[in-house]
Structure 1
């Protein structure tokens, strides 16, 4: 896997670009059968979901099968990385690349702190804000696309621990010290929300300490072939504009600017946007289709009446 830092013109870090070329299907995989989704880690169903016929939301059933792709993070490692989201992005990238049961597959990805989460309004307590962002319910629940449209909620991949949990207590000191590692999330377009890949206890610790949690969002971005074609289009548009300015200088006045100062920044913004533009999450057809999905539902729910009609 190739990786490289993405920055603004002023050097501000935007995220970490990941380019994977040798994994056709991930170990943590999204399968689809019509309006039904299955997220499976290896052979183990992690999440079953069915999209509302009116596209108002998603009913989900979460199993306890998910296993984090990130090994336990040591306190000395957290101190060494000093709460730097950029440095943690490189660390998590190694975990993602090495994990056979992670979400990465062939293509381009971005690990970025600038996710789609709705920002906290002034004066709103942090616990209240995250109480609205976190999707509740275990084993079943509902991701509301109507009431929470544009919020891009966060779905824990396992039940959130409470403030008294031993792991949360250990992380609360790091939250106070400013060395708490980021929470790793995966943007899944079919759910229109973020799935927590690692960091449930860290998120709970940050909320308990009223400390804004650091986040790293993993999302799929423009694939190589499309990126190459779009770059050619952007460069072609820039070249055409420069030629237009040259024509104006020749036919009207030498005082007409050559256009580089105007169009150069436009080209730079277009290229940067192309490099980080999100793309829908890939899903694979579920072998056996809807009938297979129904059988998995019966197995994991013990034939409970789910999804609700």
Structure 2
């Protein structure tokens, strides 16, 4: 696999480092991939070229208020374990520069994903960005995660509170280890020292959620210390054509709001100057969000369709009968 990298935001200097754009030349189908069938059925496979290990099964609700899921316990991180000396080395190299620290880890994860025989990268354009997406970093959801992360569960969408305890921003692909597990205790120490590496998450459109690719024990360690880990998000990159299309009405609205404010500024209205500045900052945020907005997650048809998915569900989750009609 050949990977080309570009720093985000593109063609900008003197601004906060946001992430990496990754251009990948293959494979056409990755070893960690989603297959889908009618009725909102999804299955995540992993396992080298065959990709035959079932990691997760899910079924969307027809009401578009959530998705039922079951984890099989067969997931393996696509990245090699991180050594404590590497964590300390990266922090010592840039003790007061979070941009440089995030950039080091983003490149480390990009290297690992490129070389992995169990990862999700396939041909196309990707982004590896800093921090949780806007609207996906709710404090209550982080606090709830250690106590409510069932292997057979449900993710509530769009804040309907249906049920409320199923609202989440992140779905681990395997159970989180106990706070007193040896590896978690080691990561708790790293968190206290300020050297804990970020966790790597993956945006999955079919779940309308982020899933945890690497760092389950790092996440458990940070949560056990009453905090949160740093996050790097992997997602497919939206096309420039789509971004320009979405940006047009945003820019038109900005220009319409700015025109009377510019005239008021010329007339000496101090409040208009403040409002014009706020409108410009809002536009900058909106355009930045467009640059890092994820594209749809690629999936493949499940051979055998819904009957094959139902057979997988019976085999890997006996007695699981998700109700998609609610």
When normalised by structure 1's length, the TM-score is 0.78
2:127 is equivalent to residue 96 of structure 1: no
C-alpha deviation, 1:268, in angstroms: 8.9
Map 1:211-290 onto structure 2 (within 5 A).
211-223=227-239, 226=241, 230=244, 275-290=291-306
Distance 1:134 1:184, change over 3 A: farther
Aligned residue number for residue 23 of structure 2: 19
1:180-235 per-residue CA deviation (whole Å, 9 max, x = no partner) reads 010110010110111101111111111122233101111111247x47x959x98x
Deviates more, 1:82-91 or 1:40-49: 82-91
Q: Could you list the runs of 5+ residues in structure 2 that have no partner in the other structure?
A: 92-97, 256-280
C-alpha deviation, 1:49, in angstroms: 0.4
Contact 2:138 2:169 in 1 (8 A): no
CA RMSD in angstroms comes to 3.1
Q: Distance in 1 between matches of 2:219 and 2:19?
A: 20
- The DSSP-based 3-state class of the residue aligned with 1:54 is coil
Aligned residue number for residue 84 of structure 2: 75
- The DSSP-based 3-state class of the residue aligned with 2:223 is helix
2:37 is equivalent to residue 60 of structure 1: no
C-alpha deviation, 1:55, in angstroms: 1.4
Aligned residue number for residue 110 of structure 1: 127
2:199 is equivalent to residue 195 of structure 1: no
- The DSSP-based 3-state class of the residue aligned with 2:5 is strand
Aligned residue number for residue 29 of structure 1: 33
> In the comparison of the two structures, how many residue pairs are matched?
274
Distance 1:293 1:135, change over 3 A: farther
Q: Distance in 2 between matches of 1:131 and 1:26?
A: 33
1:128-152 per-residue CA deviation (whole Å, 9 max, x = no partner) reads 5513357934431011112269x76
Contact 1:45 1:63 in 2 (8 A): yes
C-alpha deviation, 1:46, in angstroms: 0.4
2:229 is equivalent to residue 207 of structure 1: no
Contact 1:38 1:293 in 2 (8 A): yes
Distance 1:274 1:54, change over 3 A: closer
Aligned residue number for residue 175 of structure 1: 191
1:55-106 per-residue CA deviation (whole Å, 9 max, x = no partner) reads 1111111001111011111111111111822210100001111112211111
Q: Could you list the runs of 5+ residues in structure 1 that have no partner in the other structure?
A: 122-127, 242-264
